[in-house]
Structure 1
Amino acid sequence: MSSQTKFKKDKEIIAEYETQVKEIRTQLVEQFKCLEQQSESRLQLLQDLQEFFRRKAEIELEYSRNLEKLAERFSSKIRSSREHHQFKKDQHLLSPVNCWYLVLTQTRRESRDHATLNDIFMNNVIVRLSQISEDVIRLFKKSKEIGLQMHEELLKVTNELYTVMKTYHMYHAESISAESKLKEAEKQEEKQFNKAGDISVNLLRHEDRPQRRSSVKKIEKMKEKRQAKYSENKLKCTKARNDYLLNLAATNAAVSKYYIHDVSDLIDCCDLGFHASLARTFRTYLSAEYNLETSRHEGLDIIENAVDNLDARSDKHTVMDMCNQVFCPPLKFEYQPHMGDEVCQVSAQQPVQTELLMRYHQLQSRLATLKIENEEVRKTLDATMQTLQDMLTVEDFDVSDAFQHSRSTESVKSAASETYMSKINIAKRRANQQETEMFYFTKFKEYLNGSNLITKLQAKHDLLKQTLGEGERAECGTTRPPCLPPKPQKMRRPRPLSVYNHKLFNGNMETFIKDSGQAIPLVVESCIRYINLYGLQQQGIFRVPGSQVEVNDIKNSFERGEDPLADDQNERDINSVAGVLKLYFRGLENPLFPKERFQDLISTIKIENLAERVHQIQQILITLPRAVIIVMRYLFAFLNHLSQYSDENMMDPYNLAICFGPTLMHIPDGQDPVSCQAHVNEVIKTIIINHEAIFPSLRELEGPVYEKCMTGGEEYCDSPHSEPGTIDEAEHDNGTEPHTSDDD
């Protein structure tokens, strides 16, 4: 292939790369246009809704005034009538006149109801729609700022790829040039040697020999110089190609992550709270209409059904499907060899192997640190999102109290103003919401930056690991881990053989119980005992996350067969201990509630009679293995005890069910997690409240039981929620001492 042909092909490769980058740039611009159009459509929708309710409020007010005028016109007429004077005299009315009075009374009542409806539309519904409009503008602006930063990062990555690609092409061209010069020198040397041989045959004169030797030395010196130049250029080309391949992997990983994950998350940010807030507004309207006129329920059910179907996830998928060409990930960048270079792998041969190995270890260390830090940010992000959802889904849309009538003529507005119309409460909730939003976006931005960096570094790490492994296998003919030094073995404390051979966390609980001889896994018993001693009044326990460092420390101690909570000293953070307990159940190989019984348990929610529902749950759980039932009995007795302190810890059975539902009862694949989670929480709540009726007693099933007073002290047992005598009766009836967490 001629140099002109190679140069032309090189230009075609560059042009193809620039076209691909240009297409991505166009997609990024169009994405914001789609999101902006979505926001504008929502604003127009909200504006139309505000105008509609404003006009409807005017109609309701006008209707109310007309009813009041109508009632007053005939009431004044009655006051001058003979029947009215007769009524004032002996307090008796004829039945037709009494009906007439009731009709007028009902008319005044309807007038007050429609005035209330006007008040709700003007001062509640319209205000809420206006606030949602402000939220849409604010959230889109914040999301766009983050999106622009993400776009800049993508373009920066593609520019870096272009730079290293050009560098590689340049060094490769220099390497080819040096190689051709070396070959030319080798040809001259061969030619000179052949010529020298011919002259020696002809027996040249003795005085010509020094001149021939000088010429040979010059050619040899030139060859050595060109050989050194070729080796230098070859090394530069190899390093440049390695950098190009590493950046190629990182660029493809970053682009893929953006289109597959980040765009979806960005749309979620734009949608943050919109559907929930709009649902609350519509439910306020529905409540007012239902209380005004029950005969209109059939038509309003259609609206309620539409409100119930407000789904941010479905809307997001719809938008992405409508604009499929904009949001679908582009083709991966392919390796573009330069001028016929067919090497498309990172070279791990000497002299770059040591450099790559050092680079691999640096990436490995950096990734480990980044993943721990980013996991902490993610947990904070999840907790903040849960807080935001709690704020946005508060059920404050019921206005039934506004339609309560009494003989008093006092305006309903004064009563309503103390509840949903309270400006102080609205302002406080709104300030808390916006503050939480700000914190969420800060953490979301931090999480995105961290995950983007992890994605790029992980791509380079994996490629280096594969390359180093292949390099060593090629040299040694073995399948050992890639030429990495073995990790030093840490000295560990001896632990029981049965515990050592089985994983505690992320393992099989039944197998662990069978082989360890612990009826209740030590981590469960010890964590519950510690919370019993020091955490029953801890506000937000199991909801507020603990320190990830301390959680890992406690977890590792249990995994080694130790009990880090054995000392009766309140030195550990309660939230971290609670986090370890949830972490254990969440990571079980088989969930505490088997997936094959998920549908059976969910179906019990349809049973309205509580006693029948409890009996049905009992019949389902009784089929589980004995070891699992004992652990369940122990755990739910503790959760019931903890809920008795809900005045202090704010964790009633429902809140505990929200925390433990996803942990204990995993939703099978193929099920809608949004609709199923509420049912899961209801099942767990029912078991917490009715645990004594569901699980067998100590007499029916021998095994450890949970003690409410684990210190044995009188002062600790003085809680107003405690049930004196429960433990004593169990001991008396069975003749055995209940199992405590100190027995181990």
Structure 2
Amino acid sequence: MSAQGKFKKDKEIIADYEAQVKEIRTQLVEQFKCLEQQSESRLQLLQDLQEFFRRKAEIELEYSRSLEKLAERFSSKIRSSREHQFKKDQHLLSPVNCWYLVLTQTRRESRDHATLNDIFMNNVIVRLSQISEDVIRLFKKSKEIGLQMHEELLKVTNELYTVMKTYHMYHAESISAESKLKEAEKQEEKQFNKSGDISVNLLRHEDRPQRRSSVKKIEKMKEKRQAKYSENKLKCTKARNDYLLNLAATNAAVSKYYIHDVSDLIDCCDLGFHASLARTFRTYLSAEYNLETSRHEGLDVIENAVDNLDARSDKHTIMDMCNQVFCPPLKFEFQPHMGDEVCQVSAQQPVQTELLMRYHQLQSRLATLKIENEEVRKTLDATMQTLQDMLTVEDFDVSDAFQHSRSTESVKSAASETYMSKINIAKRRANQQETEMFYFTKFKEYLNGSNLITKLQAKHDLLKQTLGEGERAECGTTRPPCLPPKPQKMRRPRPLSVYNHKLFNGNMETFIKDSGQAIPLVVESCIRYINLYGLQQQGIFRVPGSQVEVNDIKNSFERGEDPLADDQNERDINSVAGVLKLYFRGLENPLFPKERFQDLISTIKIENPAERVHQIQQIIVTLPRAVIVVMRYLFAFLNHLSQYSDENMMDPYNLAICFGPTLMHIPDGQDPVSCQAHVNEVIKTIIIHHEGIFPSHRELEGPVYEKCMTGGEEYCDSPHSEPGTIDEVDHDNGTEPHTSDDGIPKGTLVAHQ
């Protein structure tokens, strides 16, 4: 290759190298631009998040204030009412209790949303601001380190360029020296060839010294060029070695930077960003989840109050609260005129025949009226059942409205076809009002008929008594003269409870003492029935039963009967469970006395489970013996029921939610929302540790709950049953008349049927 070609080749090599280095420099610059864009994008994201949470905090605060104003508005309305004194006691009524709990829940949500505002403003936004500062600082530090790494990389490439140029230079000089050496060798060879062609003898004597001088010059030039070639070749070899070593080092440095250092540099920019952002979002999630938890706790209290809506209990509560109004008045006494001493119907002749005819007419009329009124009553009961079915239809589930996977249009179209569509609602409302009108018509007819029967029956009974006594008088039976009535002192009307011997809404200790039952029959029978047929019933004690069936079972127990005695699964389990809850909820004195409420609640502060159980045990042993026996039986059953929580979904906590408000009434003046969670925790502890809390059968005699119960004869002959207690209950001790499902007293209306 000619020198010009070699020169051109060298220029191309240098140009390729410079282009490669230039490309690396461009990449290094672009790398910083990418990292800077990433940092700016993160800062924008953090800024948007801060703005979002700041606005959300303002909305939460505004919502909190609106809720507080809403609750305060209606609370003030209640306080400013003229009947406030009466309304203070209305929390005893289940609908009013639900209303108060809704207001309490509204205040609770107001506080929770205010707390959410505080967390967003003083925690989440502050965290995001700190992350922004960290992003700026880390990028700045990473950029400084990156610039230093770039300088080192460019320094390495410059060194490689220098040693490459040195190598090329020494290699060119080596080639030039080699060329000159070869030229000298050719001259020497040429000189020797000439010497061989001419005979030594033919040479003139004067030419020999000149020939020797020329040979010496050529040899000297060759030696000189040989030395120069060796020197240049050595320099070229060293330069090549340096070039190759620097080339390996440069490639290694470039490769390390692109494969490892760039990744490490990005990690430096990312240092703690994702972890800090995750902590911030988890703070947000924790706040929202706790908001939902608090909301669910409050809603559970309202749900329990809704489950406890009871018209019968409210009726008795109102009558007890206003006993002066609803107490039966004194009977009208016979007021004799001008000292008349006759105070009875006279059945002697000549009026006896007239009275006898009148008696038979009344008897015939009563028989006809009773038959007619019985038919009206049957129609009334059927109409009531129809109304109950209309009013208890489960149309409250709005889950379809919260299906986020579907579009709004599809949700609306689906809702229009559901049970709650406007057409269906209007149709059901019209049917309900028509049925109500028919019910009230029959109710009025029934009342008029029963009132007439009552009046005629009173006359009939008095005539029967009078005519009977008249016959005895005619047969020689004498009777004392009728004395004028003694003046009676005016008495204050007594409350209804004085006339009643109640099972439901009564005093359990008094009932146990009077009836001889160690455990009220309603408790033992309901628990036995659930043991046989309901341990795996999903949502037991939480799903409400039929109100009509609950009332029917309750009335049977109130009459001293056992409607669950037959070993047949004919009753609705949820209705039986509802009767058991209704009994404990309506007790005059709750199972856990109010005076021990604070003592029981204080045990929640004890962290050691064994110490907590011991403290609860010390409180319970101070209760009356009869109460402890019932408690032991009930909580042993609840513990057994919780063992089937995989099937019935009722673990100790869920059972505590259902029975907490029923067994432990929150005293007046206490916040029901904050106290209810503690009540539930106490009940849950007793359910779990009932064996360590209640005395055993050896320590305290009385019925003990058995996990494996049987029905029929075996149940009746249970060693824990009190023999003859059901039959020996006195039903004529002044108990209040039983009432029908719609609240009509049965004792006075259908006693003759």
- Which range moved further: 474-483 or 238-247? 474-483
Question: Residue 549 of structure 2 contacts residue 575 of structure 2 at CA under 8 Å; is this kept in 1?
Answer: yes
1:347 counterpart residue number: 346
Map 1:434-513 to 2 at 5 A.
Answer: none
CA RMSD across the alignment: 47.8
- Alpha-carbon distance in structure 2 between the residues aligned to 1:254 and 1:566: 92
Judged with a 3 Å threshold, the aligned counterparts in structure 2 of structure 1 residues 370 and 16 are, in CA distance, closer, same or farther, namely farther
Q: Is the 8 A contact 1:381 1:444 kept in 2?
A: yes
Query: Is the alpha carbon distance of 1:480 and 1:33 closer, same or farther for their aligned partners in structure 2, counting shifts above 3 Å?
Result: farther
1:718-744 alpha-carbon deviations (Å, 9 max, x no partner):
999999999999999999999999999
Do the aligned partners of residues 722 and 88 (structure 1) sit closer, same or farther apart at CA in structure 2, a change above 3 Å counting? closer
The offset of 1:231, in angstroms, is: 0.4
Q: 1:273, 1:389 within 8 Å by CA — same for their partners in 2?
A: no
Shift of 1:318: 70
Shift of 1:26: 1.5
Higher alpha-carbon deviation: 734-743 or 113-122: 734-743
Task: Select between 682-691 and 654-663 the one with higher mean Cα deviation.
Answer: 654-663
Deviations 1:314-354 (A, max 9, x none): 99999999999999999999999999999999999999999
Distance 1:731 1:225, change over 3 A: farther
Q: How far does residue 193 in structure 1 lie from its aligned partner after superposition?
A: 2.4
Change beyond 3 A, Cα 1:704–1:56: closer
1:542–1:656 contact (8 Å) kept in structure 2? yes
Summarize the Cα distance change of 1:192–1:277 in structure 2 as closer, same or farther, 3 Å threshold.
Answer: same
Q: 2:313–2:586: 8 Å Cα contact kept in structure 1?
A: no
| CA separation of 1:68 and 1:436: change in aligned 2, threshold 3 A | closer
Q: CA deviation at 1:113?
A: 0.7
Distance across 2 between alignment mates of 1:364 and 1:628: 51
d(CA) in 1 for partners of 2:687, 2:2: 81
| Displacement of 1:436 | 79
Shift of 1:101: 2.5
Residue of structure 2 in register with 1:571 after alignment: 570
Question: C-alpha deviations, 1:697-718, integer Å up to 9, x for none?
Answer: 9999999999999999999999
Please say which structure displays the higher CA radius of gyration. Answer: 2
Does structure 2 retain, via aligned residues, the 8 Å contact 1:182–1:230?
A: yes
Correspondence for 2:196: 197
Q: Secondary structure at the match of 2:325?
A: helix
1:387 positional shift? 72
Q: Is the Cα contact below 8 Å between 1:252 and 1:332 reproduced in 2?
A: no
Cα separation, partners in 2 of 1:147 and 1:298, compared to 1, 3 Å: farther
CA distance in 1, matches of 2:2, 2:349: 32
Tell me, yes or no, if the aligned pair for 1:531 and 1:574 is still in contact at 8 Å: yes
Distance 1:716 1:69, change over 3 A: closer
What's the offset of the Cα at 1:82? 3.2
Mapped to 1, the partners of 2:228 and 2:153 lie a distance apart of 37
Which residue of 2 is the match for residue 276 of structure 1? 275
Deviates more, 1:275-284 or 1:479-488: 479-488
Partners of 1:384 and 1:440 within 8 A in 2: yes
Range that drifts further, 706-715 or 101-110? 706-715
Question: Which region of structure 1 is more displaced relative to structure 2, 384-393 or 474-483?
Answer: 474-483
1:539–1:649 Cα contact (<8 Å) kept: yes
Worse-matched range after superposition: 590-599 or 192-201: 590-599
Aligned counterparts of 1:644 and 1:604: Cα–Cα separation in 2: 25
Alpha carbons of structure 1 residues 152 and 558: separation in structure 2 relative to 1, 3 Å: farther
Bigger drift between 522-531 and 109-118 goes to 522-531
Shift of 1:103: 2.2
Q: Percent identity?
A: 97
Task: Say which is worse superposed, 352-361 or 35-44, in terms of deviation.
Answer: 352-361
CA positional deviation for 1:228: 0.4
**How many equivalent residue pairs?**
743
Residue 620 of structure 1: CA displacement?
49
Q: Deviations over 1:641-669 (max 9, x none)?
A: 99999999999999999999999999999
**1:108-158 CA distances to partner (integer Å, 9 max, x unpaired)?**
111111100000000000000111111111111111111111111111111
Shift of 1:479: 152
C-alpha distance in 2 between matches for 1:694 and 1:343: 68
Alpha-carbon distance, 1:18 to partner: 1.2
Distance between the aligned counterparts of 1:455 and 1:168, measured in 2? 134
Asked if the contact 2:500–2:736 (Cα under 8 Å) also holds between the matched residues in 1, the reply is no
Contact 2:373-2:450 within 8 A present in 1 as well = yes
Indicate the larger mover: 286-295 or 443-452: 443-452
Q: 1:34 to 1:114 in 2, by over 3 A?
A: same
Query: Residues 241, 118 of structure 1: CA spacing in aligned structure 2 closer, same or farther, 3 A cutoff?
Result: same
Aligned-partner SS, 2:92: coil
**Residue 470 and residue 104 in structure 1: after superposition, are their counterparts in 2 closer, same or farther (change >3 A)?**
closer
Q: Cα 1:105–1:265, aligned 2, differ >3 Å: closer, same or farther?
A: same
Preserved contact between residue 551 and residue 580 of structure 1 (Cα < 8 Å): yes
Task: Please tell me whether the aligned partners of residues 90 and 97 of structure 2 are also in contact (alpha carbons under 8 angstroms).
Answer: no
Q: 1:408 to 1:529 in 2, by over 3 A?
A: closer
Q: Which moved more, 1:484-493 or 1:603-612?
A: 484-493
Whether contact under 8 Å (1:519, 1:627) holds in the other structure is yes
| Shift in alpha-carbon separation, 1:169–1:133, aligned structure 2, 3 A | same
Residues 623 and 56 of structure 1, relative CA distance in 2, 3 Å threshold: closer
- Is the alpha carbon distance of 1:326 and 1:514 closer, same or farther for their aligned partners in structure 2, counting shifts above 3 Å? closer
CA displacement at 1:246 relative to structure 2: 0.7
Deviates more, 1:187-196 or 1:374-383: 374-383
- In structure 2, the CA distance between the partners of 1:457 and 1:430, relative to structure 1 (3 Å rule), is same
Aligned to 1:619: 618
C-alpha separation in 1, matches of 2:714 and 2:668: 49
Paired position in structure 1 for 2:746: none
Q: Which moved more, 1:132-141 or 1:418-427?
A: 418-427
* Matched ranges for 1:162-561 at <5 A: 162-201=161-200, 203-294=202-293
Contact 2:91 2:100 in 1 (8 A): no
Change (3 A) 1:277 1:162: same
SS in 2 for 1:732: coil
Shift of 1:689: 26
- Check whether the contact 1:706–1:740 (CA below 8 A) recurs between aligned residues: no
Does the 8 Å CA contact 2:537/2:647 hold for their aligned counterparts? yes
Where does the alignment leave 5 or more consecutive residues of structure 2 unmatched?
743-752
How far did residue 177 of structure 1 move?
0.6
Alpha carbons 1:275, 1:310 under 8 Å: kept: no
Contact 1:287 1:399 in 2 (8 A): no
Asked if 2 retains the 8 angstrom alpha-carbon contact of 1:287 and 1:398, the reply is: no
Kindly state the Cα deviation for residue 409 of structure 1 after the two structures are TM-superposed: 41
Change (3 A) 1:238 1:654: farther
Query: In the TM superposition, what is the alpha-carbon distance from 1:204 to its structure 2 partner?
Result: 2.5
1:713/1:437 CA distance change after superposition, 3 Å: closer
Contact kept, 8 Å, 1:284 with 1:399, in 2: the verdict is no
Render the CA deviation track for 1:610-629: whole Å, top value 9, x for unaligned. Answer: 99999999999999999999
SS at match of 1:411: helix
- 8 Å Cα contact 1:500/1:561 also seen in 2: no
Note the alpha carbon deviations across 1:522-574, whole angstroms, 9 max, x for none.
99999999999999999999999999999999999999999999999999999
Q: Check 1:30–1:118 CA distance in 2 against 1; reply closer, same or farther (3 A cut).
A: same
- After TM superposition, give the deviation of residue 264 of structure 1 in Å: 1.3
In the superposition, relative to structure 1, how do residues 742 and 505 fare at CA in structure 2: closer, same or farther (>3 Å)? closer
- How many Å separate the matches in 1 of 2:258 and 2:352? 34
TM-score, normalization by structure 2: 0.40
Shift of 1:198: 3.9
Deviation for aligned residue 1:245: 0.7
- The SS at the match of 2:731 is helix
Partners of 2:101 and 2:302 within 8 A in 1 = no
Judge conservation of contact 2:320–2:495 (CA < 8 Å) in 1.
Answer: no
Shift of 1:54: 0.4
Alignment deviations for residues 268-296 of structure 1 (CA, whole Å, 9 cap, x no partner): 11111111111111111111111212599
CA distance, structure 2, for counterparts of residue 720 and residue 713 of structure 1 = 14
Change (3 A) 1:269 1:43: same
- Provide closer, same or farther for how the CA distance between residues 119 and 699 of structure 1 changes in structure 2, counting only shifts above 3 A: closer
Deviates more, 1:708-717 or 1:466-475: 466-475
Distance 1:169 1:474 in 2: 159
Distance 1:33 1:52 in 2: 28
Q: Which moved more, 1:248-257 or 1:308-317?
A: 308-317
Q: 1:448 to 1:643 in 2, by over 3 A?
A: farther
Looking at structure 2, the residues matched to 38 and 427 of structure 1 have their Cα atoms a distance apart, in angstroms, of 60
Task: Return 5+ residue gaps in structure 1 as ranges.
Answer: none
* Cα distance between partner residues in 1 of 2:11 and 2:469: 33
The alpha-carbon deviation at position 420 of structure 1 amounts to: 48
Q: 1:713 to 1:320 in 2, by over 3 A?
A: closer
- Bigger shift: 54-63 or 518-527? 518-527
CA drift at 1:196: 3.2
Residue in 2 aligned with 1:739? 738
